[in-house]
Structure formats: structure tokens, C-alpha cells
């Protein structure tokens, strides 16, 4: 495995690695570690703030210039969706059965794949996994899409559209499809046949398929360059009469399907599906109803998280931090997509809100001396030592401490596996990386790109976020899987690197302007005496390289991870590119992201 980061797998004498269920204390003991009630915590803070308050007022501190939250918490708490009612679930079940019959009746392989593709993009894929598997196995075997038939593949007469569509869906679902499947569309010079330029739909599918490439697959690199160039020319020259097709091409050239988050984009696909001439009314009704049922579930989860956030007192007591609870939960919706993982999704949303808070402590508010003290307290996880901290840091630590113990308590009840040491490890790694960047800032040090990335793929919080997601979606915890998680396999590293680089593309201008350490763009410019445009192009290239690695890891036969967690890692990369595509969609509350959150959580879909 390549090693970007400073973090190592646990040494053999590390007590966390050798933690067995026999060592687990009772859930009662874990629960007793929780710091009192909120009133008791605030009372303690009141007395300690008398000691630290004056010093805090006299210390010059930076400001992130963050705007208040746009969201009306009282309005959200008042929401009540009719789609929680059982009658809607019964109707959805009836529609699912009708769509299954549609799938069974369809005999044309290409139409089967098209229907499967539509259902997935409409957010309905989890209802039809058995049917999808049957379709894909049939297509895979009937069309000889496997490596032992390379010569047969090369000599076959194939249709570009159906071949590229099958290639994408097969690879998406873990089938080992040889890139030579697409090699039959190359001429004797090794270039794609010029006649393909007339097959617009086929070129679009070829372009989409190319994003499932892994390292060294030059045929797919060539396919992407060729298809991208021709499609852009067709749009520029206004050669496409079908408005639905031209819209899809524009959206794909912006962000391809493989890089798009599914659930967050469901409303967009529903609107596009409505306009299609081949729209099926049953599929459309199910898509709308299912989206609204899921939205009702999200509203209830969000309301619980908002109540927790209010009870923490963070917004009231720490006015310098970003109040981004709704955005944090939106991240968790994109990362933990399976509807059955509501508890894990809510825990992840809380975790991201705490990460945002502590990030602001390190990036904006804390002095270097305070940050060193705070890091030491988290490193030792010692509640008795918080009296050394200023009051705002005491509140941060107590909120984090209680959250970790509450999460561990829930997991222990269900699985008899103590995750406290592991979660502490995640937070310790994160704040250690934060402290490195704080020292760079206070000393005026400018790291080179390699040095920056070695630290920043951790400081962007990817490993901490995925650790929280792992314990929220993994129902059979094993030491092998946990050790792999904390050994930072390529899956975690690649996903976190995409998050880091996408974040830098969207936020670096603002953060550098307020005096933060250089980001990847500035590091590249300093290292190579290059322009910002060249730096951004290089960062985009690095994102593509990280996707190649993640494409390998997501279908690795020896992966110790469950499919739901692998999906979380892939979806974190997708969500990162979505949130930072047009700027800072998390901290600065970009209008496009704000509208998408509105649609996802508060506006039911309609016919």
C-alpha cells in the first residue's frame, strides 16, 4: 500500500489492537463515564470561566467571518410529514411489486440495463438488488465480459451504447470486466474509430463508463479524452436536438454519474425523468413516493440532532464557531445512504458538527499555547485535567467526551464490542494533525505539497468521519476489520484525499486570505513557480488518480470491510466533490447547496 499519511498501523504492543470482548466492561460502567447532566457541566464551566474569562477577553483572536446559520431551528422542529403514515408505505410496497413485474417482463438486455440505471438514479436501487444481480449475471455471461475471453471480445461486433452501459453497470456492481471490452472500438493505430463521433448516446455512455477505470487502464483514459472532446464540440456547435440528452451531457461533463452522490441528487433525476418520452408512470410514482417517505425519515433524524445540538450549548457559549448542524447532517445523509442506518447517520451528523467546532478552535480562535494544552487533554483523555483549559475548550472537550461515550454505549448494547479506545484514537489523530497546521501558521512555515498532503488528508477529518461511519453501519465488528480501518487502507486514504483536494479547490482562496497555512493549490504554486490555473489542474489530476485507487479498493476481493462501509467511503468522496464544486458549501453556505438541502429535507416531490 502507498503511504500518504503519518499515521501507522498500531504497534503489536498497542492495547487497542489486542482489546477482546472478554475485556469489555459492562455498559453500565461506560455509561457512568458520561459527564453529568448539562446543568452540572454548565455549573462547573461557570466557576472555571471566572478564572479564565478575563484572560480570554484580553487575548487577540482571529475571526473566520462566518455567517449565522440560515436555518430556522424552531421551524424544523415543528415539521410533521404525512409520509410517515403506514398507508404510504403500503402503497410504496405495491408499486415495488409492480416494478418488479416490469423488470421480469422485459427481455431485451439493453432495456433491462436502462431500466436498472434509471431505478438506481431515482434512488430506488435498494428495492431491487436481487433483480439487478440476476440481470447483470446474465449480461456478463451471455456477452463474454470476462478476461479469459479477451480474443473473443476483440473480434466481436458490438454496439457502443449498450457495451459501454453494460461495462459501467457491471463494474459498478463489482464484476471484473476487462477493459478490452471497449478495445474493439479502436482502429489499427490504437485510436478510437472516427465513425463513433456520430453515435452521441454511445459516446455519452463511453464517457460515463471511463470513470470506473483503475490504474494503468489506458484504453479507458483514451476513451474519456475522445468522448469528452467530441461531446463538448457537439454542445458548442449546437448539434444535439434532444434537450434531455444535451442536458444529461452537460451534467455529465460537469460531474459524471460515478462521481455523483445518489440520494442527494434524486430530485434532479426525478425532474429529468418526468420530461422523458419513455417515462413509465409506475416508476415515476414510486420514485416520488419513496423520496417523500425517506424525506420524512430524514426530518425526524434531523430534529433529534438539532435537539442534541441545542442541549450541548455550543452555539450559545462559542459564538465564534460555525453553526452548521443542518449541513453536518446533510453530509451524513450523503455518506450513510442506506435508509436502515438511521442511528449511524445521526451519530455521524453529530460527529461532523463537533469536527466543525473543534476545527474552528484550531483554525481561528485558539492561541498556540491553548491548542497545545487542548491537544494534550485529548491525547490523554483526562477529564480531571480540563481545569487547565479556558472555559470554551472545557465545553468542547466535555461535549466530545459525552458524545464518544454515548456512541460507544449504543454499540456495546448491540454488539458487546467496546469501541471507546478506537474512537479516542480517531479524535486524537485528528487534533494532532490540527496542531501541526496550527504550528505551521504561528511560525509562518510553508510546507511543500508532499509535506502538506501527508498531514492534511488526516486534518481534513476523512479518517475520523469514516471511523464514525464504520461503527454506525458495521453489524459484525471484528478485530481484523477494525485494525484495517485504523491501519488506513487505500480505501480510507483515497476517499480522504479526494475530500482534502476537493475542499482545497472550493475553500483555499477564502482560507488563505484570512491567513491560514497554504493549501494544496498554493503549495503546488510555490513548489513549481506555477500559476493558480496550473495548480488547480494538477489538483484535479490528483483527484482522478485517487479515484483510480478507490475504484480498485471498492471491489477488492480481500477487503475486510462490509459493503455498506465501502459504500460510505466511496460516497464521502462523491459528497466532497458535490459540497465544494461551486465553492465552500459547508462553511460559507453556498446558495446551490442551500437549495439542495431545502429540496432534500423540506420540499416534498410532486407529480
Average pLDDT score over residue span 94-122: 97
* pLDDT tops 90 at residue 372: yes
423 touches 461 (CB < 8 A) = no
The residue ranking higher by pLDDT, 37 or 222, is 222
244 touches 272 (CB < 8 A) = yes
H/E element holding 114?
helix 109-121
- Confidence label for 4 from pLDDT (cuts 50, 70 and 90): very low
Sign of the alpha-carbon torsion through 166, 168, 174, 177: positive
Q: What are phi and psi of 145, to 5 degrees?
A: -85, 60
- Please, which residues have CB within 8 angstroms of residue 180's CB and are 6 or more apart in sequence? 147, 150, 153, 154, 219
* pLDDT tops 50 at residue 361: yes
Distance CA 72, CA 55 (A): 34
> Could you give the count of Cα atoms lying within 13 Å of 206 in the half-sphere of its Cβ?
32
* pLDDT tops 80 at residue 17: no
H/E element holding 463?
helix 462-473
Distance CA 426, CA 372 (A): 18
* Interval 495-517: pLDDT, tens: 999 999 999 999 856 555 555 67
Distances (CA, A) of 458 to 102, 333, 437, 564: 47, 22, 11, 22
* pLDDT tops 80 at residue 58: no
* Interval 224-273: pLDDT, tens: 999 999 999 999 999 999 999 999 999 999 999 999 999 888 999 999 99
**Alpha carbon 579 to chain centroid distance?**
9
Distance CA 287, CA 333 (A): 18
Helical H runs in 487-519?
490-513
Which of 4-13, 309-318, 534-543 has the lowest average pLDDT? Answer: 4-13
> Quick one: cell of 45?
464551566
Distances (CA, A) of 596 to 86, 287, 335, 535, 601: 27, 18, 16, 29, 9
Query: How many residues does the structure list for the chain?
Result: 607
b/e for 163-187, b at 16 or more Cβ within 10 A?
A: bbbbbbbbbbbebebbbbbbbebbe
- Please, which residues have CB within 8 angstroms of residue 569's CB and are 6 or more apart in sequence? 466, 469, 491, 492, 494, 495, 550, 553, 554, 561
Which of 89-98, 283-292, 447-456, 552-561 has the lowest average pLDDT? Answer: 552-561
- Please, which residues have CB within 8 angstroms of residue 239's CB and are 6 or more apart in sequence? 200, 233
b/e for 396-415, b at 16 or more Cβ within 10 A?
A: bbbbbbbbbbebbbbbbeeb
Return the pLDDT at 178.
Answer: 86
Return the pLDDT at 532.
Answer: 94
> Quick one: cell of 261?
452522490
- Confidence label for 584 from pLDDT (cuts 50, 70 and 90): confident
Average pLDDT score over residue span 537-556: 96
Mean pLDDT computed over every residue of the chain: 87
* Interval 590-605: pLDDT, tens: 788 889 999 999 999 9
C-alpha dihedral (358, 364, 366, 371), degrees to nearest 10: 60
* pLDDT tops 50 at residue 554: yes
Least Cα distance to 163 among 125, 197, 203 occurs for 203
Domains and CATH numbers, the chain: 84-287 (1.50.10.130), 446-588 (1.10.600.10)
Return the pLDDT at 54.
Answer: 43
* Interval 174-227: pLDDT, tens: 998 888 888 788 887 878 888 899 999 999 999 999 999 999 999 999 999 999
Return the pLDDT at 515.
Answer: 55
Distances (CA, A) of 306 to 67, 335, 346, 349: 18, 19, 10, 10
Local structure of residue 186 (DSSP, 8 states): B
DSSP string for 376-422: HHHHHT-GGGGGGS-HHHHHHHHHHHHHHHHHHHHHHHHH----HHH
> Quick one: cell of 319?
459564538
Average pLDDT score over residue span 118-130: 96
Amino acid at each position: 500500500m502507498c503511504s500518504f499519511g503519518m499515521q501507522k498501523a498500531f504497534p503489536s504492543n498497542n492495547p487497542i489492537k489486542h482489546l477482546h470482548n472478554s475485556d469489555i466492561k459492562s455498559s453500565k460502567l461506560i455509561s457512568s463515564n458520561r459527564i453529568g447532566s448539562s446543568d452540572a457541566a454548565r455549573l462547573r464551566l461557570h466557576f472555571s470561566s471566572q478564572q479564565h474569562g478575563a484572560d480570554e477577553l484580553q487575548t487577540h483572536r482571529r475571526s473566520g467571518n462566518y455567517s449565522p446559520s440560515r436555518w430556522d431551528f424552531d421551524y424544523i422542529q415543528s415539521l410533521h410529514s404525512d409520509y410517515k403514515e403506514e398507508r404510504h408505505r403500503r402503497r410504496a410496497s405495491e408499486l415495488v411489486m409492480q416494478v418488479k413485474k416490469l423488470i421480469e417482463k422485459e427481455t431485451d438486455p439493453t432495456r433491462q440495463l436502462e431500466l436498472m440505471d434509471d431505478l438506481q438514479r431515482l434512488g430506488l436501487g435498494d428495492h431491487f438488488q436481487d433483480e439487478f444481480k440476476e440481470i447483470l449475471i446474465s449480461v456478463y455471461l451471455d456477452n463474454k465480459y470476462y478476461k479469459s475471453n479477451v480474443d473473443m471480445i476483440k473480434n466481436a461486433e458490438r454496439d457502443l451504447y449498450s457495451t459501454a452501459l453494460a461495462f459501467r453497470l457491471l463494474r459498478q456492481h463489482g464484476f471484473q470486466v476487462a477493459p478490452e471490452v471497449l478495445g474493439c472500438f479502436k482502429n489499427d493505430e490504437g485510436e478510437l474509430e472516427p465513425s463513433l463521433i456520430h453515435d452521441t448516446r454511445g459516446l455519452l455512455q463511453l464517457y460515463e463508463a471511463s470513470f470506473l477505470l483503475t490504474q494503468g487502464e489506458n484504453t479507458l483514459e483514451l476513451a474519456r479524452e475522445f468522448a469528452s472532446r467530441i461531446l463538448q464540440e457537439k454542445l458548442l456547435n449546437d448539434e444535439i436536438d434532444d434537450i434531455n440528452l444535451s442536458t444529461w451531457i452537460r451534467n455529465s461533463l460537469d460531474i459524471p454519474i460515478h462521481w455523483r452522490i445518489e440520494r442527494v441528487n434524486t430530485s434532479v433525476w426525478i425532474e429529468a425523468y418526468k420530461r422523458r418520452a419513455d417515462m413509465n408512470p409506475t416508476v415515476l410514482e414510486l420514485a416520488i413516493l419513496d423520496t417523500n417517505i425517506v424525506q420524512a425519515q430524514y426530518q425526524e433524524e434531523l430534529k433529534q440532532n438539532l435537539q442534541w445540538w441545542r442541549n450541548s450549548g455550543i452555539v450559545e457559549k462559542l459564538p465564534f464557531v460555525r453553526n452548521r448542524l443542518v449541513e453536518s447532517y446533510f453530509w451524513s445523509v450523503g455518506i450513510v445512504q442506506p435508509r436502515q442506518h438511521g442511528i449511524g447517520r445521526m451519530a455521524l451528523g453529530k460527529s461532523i458538527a463537533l469536527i466543525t467546532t473543534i476545527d474552528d478552535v484550531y483554525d481561528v480562535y485558539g492561541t498556540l499555547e491553548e491548542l497545545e494544552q487542548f491537544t494534550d487533554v485529548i491525547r490523554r483523555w483526562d477529564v480531571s485535567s480540563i481545569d487547565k483549559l479556558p472555559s470554551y475548550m472545557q465545553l468542547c472537550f466535555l461535549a466530545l467526551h459525552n458524545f464518544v461515550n454515548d456512541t460507544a454505549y449504543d454499540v456495546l448494547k448491540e454488539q458487546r464490542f467496546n469501541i471507546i479506545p478506537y474512537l479516542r484514537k480517531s479524535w486524537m489523530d485528528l487534533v494532532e494533525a490540527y496542531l501541526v497546521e496550527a504550528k505551521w501558521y504561528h511560525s509562518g512555515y510553508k510546507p511543500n505539497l508532499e509535506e502538506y498532503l501527508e498531514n492534511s488528508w488526516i486534518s481534513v477529518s476523512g479518517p475520523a468521519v469514516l471511523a464514525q461511519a464504520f461503527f454506525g453501519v458495521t453489524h459484525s465488528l471484528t478485530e481484523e476489520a477494525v485494525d484495517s480501518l485504523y491501519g488506513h487502507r487505500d480505501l480510507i486514504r483515497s476517499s480522504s484525499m479526494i475530500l482534502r483536494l476537493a475542499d482545497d479547490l472550493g475553500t483555499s482562496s477564502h482560507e488563505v486570505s484570512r491567513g491560514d497555512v497554504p493549501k494544496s493549490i498554493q503549495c503546488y504554486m510555490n513548489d513549481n513557480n506555477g500559476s493558480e490555473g496550473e495548480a488547480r489542474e494538477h489538483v484535479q489530476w490528483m483527484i482522478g488518480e485517487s479515484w483510480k485507487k478507490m475504484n480498485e479498493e471498492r471491489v477488492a476481493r480481500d477487503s475486510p470491510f462490509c459493503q455498506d462501509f465501502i459504500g460510505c467511503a466511496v460516497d464521502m468522496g462523491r459528497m466532497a466533490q458535490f459540497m465544494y464544486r461551486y465553492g465552500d458549501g459547508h462553511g460559507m453556505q453556498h446558495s446551490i447547496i442551500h437549495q439542495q438541502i431545502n429540496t432534500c429535507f423540506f420540499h416534498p416531490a410532486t407529480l
